[in-house]
Amino acid sequence: MQKISYEAPGKFQESKFEKIHCLTFKSAIDGSKLVAREIANSIKSKKNKPFILGLATGSSPIGVYKELVRIHKTEKLSFKNVITFNLDEYYNISKDEPQSYSAFMNNHLFSQIDIPKKNINIPNGKTKENDIIDYCKDYEKKIIDCGGIDFQLLGIGRTAHIGFNEPGSNKNSVTRLIALDSITRLDAANEFNGLSMVPEKAITMGIGTIMNAKRIVLLAWGHTKSNIVSRTIEGEISSSAPATFLQNHQNTTFVLDEEASADLTKFKTPWLVKEFTWNDALKKKAIVWLSKKLNKPVLKLTQRDYNKNGLASLIANQGNVYDLNIWIFNELQKTITGWPGGKPYHDDSNRPERANPPKKKVLIFSPHPDDDVISMGGTYARLIDQGHEVHVAYQTSGNIAVSDEEAIKFLDVMDSFAEPNPKGIKIKDLKNQLINKKNDEADPKKIMKLKGLIRKNECIAAGRFLKLPEKNLHFLNLPFYETGFIKKNEPTKNDINITVDLINKIKPHQIFAAGDLADPHGTHRICLDILFNAIQLLKNKNYMKNCWMWLYRGAWEEWEIEDIEMAIPMSPAQVLQKRNSILFHQSQKDKVMFQGNDEREFWLRAEERNKKTAKLYNKLGLAEYEAIEGFKRFYF
Ligand code: F6R
């Protein structure tokens, strides 16, 4: 068997914990380019003999396909001698449907290269049920007859599936029909515009089929994959995490970005892996980890605790345990403040925010029209109470997350209140459009507007409750979001300019923004990118030199304690006030349309996360608060 064919210029650190060769890159683009280059070189090295290429679909390989197309166009790489076999296809779906993997491959690769049609093999998602067993046998045989797969590209699902080999798949499994795991279906809901539309089955190559490939490269990007990546690379082999079978393949490389690598031991607890130079951030991370591991407050950690848990080098480098413990205690203590806008006329040398100016202009960016209260409702209320000029910018309309039933309820109220209504809107027509709408259809423009208005007015009501006047609420309705589908457009200059204009108008001293990138539809990440782009354009302005930016989390995930640079405690009454402000967003209550893989309602997730943060602070040995909202500073 061919050995691992290149030593990539990635950031590769050996670690005794890793059972699969893996490379970490700064970004998915860098990693994808390298993999595309390996494929291109392998095709060339076959001269005119067939090269058998196993292909994957989904978000992970898109960058590789883009780069292969570029190499084909600019370097004249030919695919005439390439024979492809795709891993899988949804069942029962025709190749013409936009969500089919056939359509995906055409869009991203086949239509842009010179591969002969006869060389393309993708399982037929419309195979008759009675024919499936024979069909799958033929697929396997065809691979073998071609001489086996030379190079297999893979992604990995959150269930640790490769292909669609879900947990329970046997290591000798071959091409077959399989039922999709509920997590996999949830992850595909984006593409299908809702969970109920996602197929329940798929035809997939087996683990055995994949393991027979001569070379395997698995791609994983983003921190939603970090957990399963570390489980696969460092955990025990088990059919409950089918990708772990790759540990037994001699020529496999995982190509990762930094986020997908974050849970690998070498990054998560590097002190267990090798000697390195300690800095304050790592010291904090290590001592918090030790305290959590031993369930001991930081001030009670002993020299023996440090030594026995791989932190002897920290003491050797950093002096004695007593000083270290006091240092970390003070570091944590300094993050806690009841003054998120700074405490006016007080010494601020040990506080997270500046005292001056005493009254600040604060601009809170909220990707969806409820992230402000979900993630920082307590801090938002304090900023108003402490007399700062608070503005909230709702970046998107959030219209797709309003159910048809909710919209019909509002139409009914309008209908019974004024008939015929004064603006001449035919309410009954709108209601009929909603009732007759097909599942995969986007809302008509008027309905999108209505749903956006429902969310807008929920924000106004929550603002009124927190005593923020309507003129301080800014509804940006960023255009990238307005597709009517879960899948959004690429953001453009237009989105950035709208954001630039608002910042320029307000000239804030503080910007708060969502730094939780785990939201299942990616809207938070796009909104943050737009904001970063806007800030890049503005950062040389005088007022921006005096502007600090704080990132919050809460709707989808929470900061690690060691990342929190400002911790705002809440009393029981403030927790209740926050809960009530979230509950103004009634369209997002009860049967939430897009809830992700967390079954709790948003107010409950927020409350439990804030209480957990407070508990963690307390366990580390700090004061006991009811709840805490955490923020990390972003320097630009
Ligand atoms: C797709 C496939 C799947 C995906 C996996 C990850 O052909 O076989 O195993 O690779 O579900 O999907 P993404 O890349 O979309 O995260």
Which of 223-227, 295-299, 332-336 has the weakest average pLDDT? 223-227
pLDDT score of 484: 84
Number of residues assigned to the chain: 636
Interval between CA 58 and ligand 1 midpoint (Å): 5
pTM: predicted TM-score of the whole model, two decimal places = 0.84
What pLDDT, on a 0 to 100 scale, did the predictor assign at position 516? 78
The alpha carbon of residue 1 and the mean position of all alpha carbons in its chain are separated, in whole angstroms, by 37
DSSP string, 501-565: HHHHHH--SEEEEE-----TTSHHHHHHHHHHHHHHHHTTSHHHHT-EEEEE--SS----GGG-S
What is the 138 CA–ligand 1 centroid distance (Å)? 23
Name which residue sits closest to atom 8 of ligand 1, judged by CA. Answer: 163
Is the pLDDT score of 13 beyond 60? no
> Does the beta carbon of 161 sit less than 6 angstroms from any atom of ligand 1?
yes
Give yes or no for residue 54 CB within 6 A of ligand 1: no
- Expressed in angstroms and rounded, the spacing between residue 184 Cα and the centre of ligand 1 is 9
Determine if the peptide bond prior to 357 is cis (ω within 30°).
yes
Looking at the domain that runs over 21-263, which CATH code has it been given?
3.40.50.1360
- Where residue 1 falls among pLDDT bands split at 50, 70, 90? very low
166 has catalytic annotation: yes
What does the domain layout of the chain look like in residue ranges? 21-263, 271-335, 361-403+442-634
Query: Which tens digit of pLDDT belongs to each residue from 351-366?
Result: 999 999 999 999 999 9
With a cut of 90, say whether residue 148 has pLDDT above it: yes
pLDDT at 4 over 50: no
Q: What is the pLDDT of residue 12?
A: 44
* Cα 506 to Cα 222: distance, rounded to the nearest angstrom: 33
**pLDDT higher than threshold 80 for residue 187:** yes
Q: What percent of the chain has pLDDT over 90?
A: 78
Residue 434 CB less than 6 A away from ligand 1: no
Distance 436 CA to ligand 1 centre (A): 34
Ligand 1 pocket check for 60: Cβ under 6 Å: yes
Contact in structure between 566 and 340 (CB atoms under 8 Å): yes
pLDDT score recorded for residue 276? 80
> How big is the chain by its Cα radius of gyration, in Å?
27
Q: What is the mean pLDDT of the chain?
A: 92
Residue range 409-413: mean pLDDT, rounded: 82
pLDDT band at 423 (very low <50, low <70, confident <90, very high): low
Of residues 166, 406, 626, 629, which has the active-site annotation?
166
**For ligand 1, what atom is nearest to the CA of residue 155?**
10
Q: CATH topology for 361-403+442-634?
A: Rossmann fold (3.40.50)
Does residue 103 have a pLDDT over 90?
yes
Helices 602-619 and 371-385, packing angle to 10 deg: 60
CB of 221 closer than 8 Å to CB of 632? no
Residue 124 Cα to ligand 1 middle (Å): 18
Ligand 1, atom 1, residue with closest C-alpha: 57
C-beta 58 within 6 A of ligand 1: yes
Our answer on whether the CB atom of 603 is closer than 6 Å to any ligand 1 atom is no
CB of 163 shorter than 6 A to ligand 1: yes
DSSP state of 109: T
The CA 631 to ligand 1 mean position distance, Å, reads 33
- For the CA of 101, the nearest atom of ligand 1: 7
Checking if the pLDDT of 7 tops 80, the result is no
pLDDT tier for residue 72 given thresholds of 50, 70 and 90: very high
pLDDT band at 443 (very low <50, low <70, confident <90, very high): confident
Asked which of 146-150, 422-426, 486-490 is least confident by mean pLDDT, the reply is 422-426
Equal fold, 21-263 vs 361-403+442-634:
yes
**Which pLDDT score, from 0 to 100, does residue 419 have?**
53
Out of 34-43, 137-146, 218-227, 329-338, pick the least confident.
218-227
Beta partners for 121?
Answer: 85
- Which of 68-77, 85-94, 415-424 comes out lowest in average pLDDT? 415-424
Q: Please say if the pLDDT value at position 10 is more than 60.
A: no
Mean pLDDT of 248-263: 95
Ligand 1 pocket test: pick from 32, 57, 254 the residue with the most ligand atoms within 8 Å of its Cβ: 57
Region 202-231: what's the mean pLDDT? 96
Q: Is the distance from the beta carbon of residue 162 to the nearest atom of ligand 1 less than 6 Å?
A: yes
Residue 8's pLDDT is 42
Mean pLDDT computed over 245-258: 96
User: CB–CB of 360/389 below 8 Å?
Assistant: yes
User: Quick check: bond before 420 cis, omega within 30?
Assistant: yes
Cβ of 57 below 6 Å from ligand 1: yes
